[in-house]
A and B are shown apart, each in its own frame.
Chain A
Amino acid sequence: SQKIEQNSEALNIQEGKTATLTCNYTNYSPAYLQWYRQDPGRGPVFLLLIRENEKEKRKERLKVTFDTTLKQSLFHITASQPADSATYLCALMNYGGSQGNLIFGKGTKLSVKP
């Protein structure tokens, strides 16, 4: 069966450390994968997109990797800050799928402690 899994429901780290969030998928052939941030009671906000032929993308303190052999994307936040505390969602688009077929993971709730 097809699955997209974000391995940790919650991740607690100390301020200044690097947070690493995982998104694994099964039985999909993603054209690309997206990461969103969601604050409590708010809609998700787009952060980064990585295509299947790209290994890594960066934006300021954020880095996303995509390994189609491992069927995994990693999302890193370096020098984490308490303001980075939020839920992070991954979403993938299958090859040949319409935008209506964007598949979301359940999210990982990140807490950064001072």
Chain B
Amino acid sequence: DGGITQSPKYLFRKEGQNVTLSCEQNLNHDAMYWYRQDPGQGLRLIYYSQIVNDFQKGDIAEGYSVSREKKESFPLTVTSAQKNPTAFYLCASTPRGDRGSGANVLTFGAGSRLTVL
């Protein structure tokens, strides 16, 4: 079945550590996204990538980094510079990346919950 796989489902981090969240898709989608979800807040965009080897900052990119070396993969690193990293992280993809040329529907993974100890 096609979809998005996020791992790990749960992750604990000590302060000062970098951690990497994995996101893999087999939908042959061009664009991939990382969102952060906190209780009582809407989804906030961290980074997105419309094509391999290219990515753009979203609204809350500080303290995070990404790479897009393969079409299928878009890992997110939460660095020690992120002061409040405890959250639910969601990876998503759309068939294409474009600027207002059509309606893209997001397919989401199951999420990764990061807790800082």
Binding site for B on A (CB under 8 A): 4, 9, 31-32, 34, 36, 41-46, 49, 51, 89, 91, 93, 95-107
Contacts and interface: CB of A to CB of B under 8 A. Distances in A.
B94 A99 contact: yes
Interface in B19-64: 31, 33, 40-45, 48, 50, 56, 58
A99 B111 contact: no
Q: Top 3 A-B pairs ranked by shortest CB distance?
A: A43-B108, A104-B42, A104-B43
Contacts of B45: 100-102
Contacts of A45: 108
B70 interface: no
B42 A98 contact: no
Given A4-B42, A42-B111, A98 B106 contact: no
A9 to B, nearest CB: 8
18 contacts: A9-B40, A31-B103, A34-B106, A41-B110, A43-B92, A43-B110, A44-B106, A46-B105, A46-B107, A49-B103, A91-B43, A98-B98, A98-B99, A99-B31, A100-B48, A100-B58, A103-B42, A106-B41
Interface residues of B, number: 30
Nearest to A99: B104
A31 B48 contact: no
A40 B58 CA distance: 25
B47 to A, nearest CB: 9
A100 B33 contact: yes
Given A43-B90, A46-B106, A89-B42, 9 more contacts: A36-B106, A41-B111, A41-B113, A91-B43, A95-B100, A96-B99, A99-B31, A99-B98, A101-B45
B103 A51 contact: yes
B103 A32 contact: yes
